[in-house]
Amino acid sequence: MQQRAVRLKLENVSKSFLDRDGKGHVQAVDHISLDIYSGEFLTLLGPSGCGKTTTLRLIAGFEHPTTGRILLDGEDITGQPPNKRDMALVFQNYALFPHMTVYHNVAYGLETRQMPRPQIQAKVAEVLKLIGLEGLDKRRPNQLSGGQQQRVALARSLVMEPRILLFDEPLSNLDAKLRVQMRSEIHRLQRRLGITSIYVTHDQLEAMALSDRIVVMNQGAIEQVGTPEEIYRFPTSRFVADFIGRANFIDRVPYQLVDDDRAEISLLGRKLVVPVRFPLRAGQHVTAMLRPEALVLREDASLMQVTIDEAMYLGSEVEYVVTFDQQRLVIVQQDPRISRIFKEGQTVGLDFLAEAVHLLPDQTVV
């Protein structure tokens, strides 16, 4: 397999700020190391205050790390100002010049480089066509919709042909429908142009739809790095499992090792042999995770019987809540062909696939 070129490298990067009293320090980024590959779309994902935006600002040069180094194509850029880093940032609030036309907003960066006017005109025309803004070059920002303004902000960054394109929650000001539309547009453009892109968001669906890899952050540290499938199907911690999508957790599940990679567990009335992806010691318990869509309800008397506590029809799916042995379980049935919706109080059979069970270290307090 051909090794991918590292475009950006973070080495033991940390950032601390004085607290509000000015007497102590808050660790915003906690000694993280990360390789970002050429041409990939990488997302920094996590809740508010996890350090993702500070990390982006460190990469862009708006903040200086307390410790560590940042390297771009092998060159140490830790001390370089933002305008020397060959990066472009798409802001959350668009940051367009209100008195300038679309053309001049997009052309501004090229003009500061003193590029010849015919070349600027050609580049701006090319990027406006690429981004779907042809014929709007003479309009001002207040004459555009929110989605069009975001396209201008993206065009202004793309026209600079940066080595790295940075996104700071660029879709958070758009309504739900426009978010999906712009998400698709960003995905299409990034794949077509192959620009190394680093995207910050707290929206899990956005991260899953756009990313080659996701970096899940928590309290300034990296919890897990992986593809969307790896992050969703095989989270390495309860935090990641709970933050990405929804999950049912069954705590303090006893087990018996079958070999180094498998364990036998008793779960929801069944004996199962399931994969183990972390070191296990004798006498421990584990937490079993099942995604809501991995559980299935059927009118089948041979299955373990449960009673429907809640049933919610949501159009494309039906969400149920059942209780088994004091364990509350959320179940999502997404098959559009389902014509039968179970009612609250109805008793039905519960089934699931053994391969859908994912084990995590048990973190419950005894």
pTM for the predicted model, two decimal places: 0.89
Taking the C-alpha atoms of residue 343 and residue 100, their distance in angstroms, rounded to an integer, is: 59
Domain boundary among 219, 241, 263: 241
Compute the average pLDDT of residues 189-211: 93
Domain boundary among 241, 269, 289: 241
Per the domain annotation, does 366 fall within a domain? no
Tokens standing for residue 144: 């555009």
Taking the C-alpha atoms of residue 127 and residue 141, their distance in angstroms, rounded to an integer, is: 17
In eight-state DSSP terms, residue 294 is G
Q: Are 48 and 176 in a shared domain?
A: yes
Q: Are 182 and 207 in a shared domain?
A: yes
Residue 337 scores a pLDDT above 70: no
- State how far the alpha carbon of 288 is from the alpha carbons of 30, 115, 263, 303, 362, in Å: 29, 60, 12, 20, 9
Q: Are 307 and 169 in a shared domain?
A: no
Q: Are 232 and 302 in a shared domain?
A: no
For residue 138, give its domain range. 6-241
Domain boundary among 209, 241, 273: 241
Compute the average pLDDT of residues 68-75: 97
Q: Are 113 and 192 in a shared domain?
A: yes
Q: Are 187 and 303 in a shared domain?
A: no
What is the chain's mean pLDDT, rounded? 90
pLDDT tens readout for residues 91-106? 888 788 999 999 999 9
Tokens standing for residue 114: 């003193």
Residue with tokens 């066509």: 129
Residue pair 15/54 in contact (Cβ under 8 Å)? The answer is: yes
pLDDT tens readout for residues 224-274? 999 999 999 999 999 999 999 899 999 999 888 888 888 899 998 889 999
pLDDT tens readout for residues 2-23? 578 999 999 999 999 987 777 7
Q: Are 52 and 149 in a shared domain?
A: yes
Q: Are 30 and 137 in a shared domain?
A: yes
CATH number where 150 lies: 3.40.50.300
Q: Are 251 and 286 in a shared domain?
A: yes
Per the domain annotation, does 1 fall within a domain? no
Q: Are 31 and 178 in a shared domain?
A: yes
CATH number where 258 lies: 2.40.50.140
Q: How many domains does the chain have?
A: 2
Taking the C-alpha atoms of residue 292 and residue 318, their distance in angstroms, rounded to an integer, is: 11
Compute the average pLDDT of residues 136-153: 90
Per the domain annotation, does 217 fall within a domain? yes
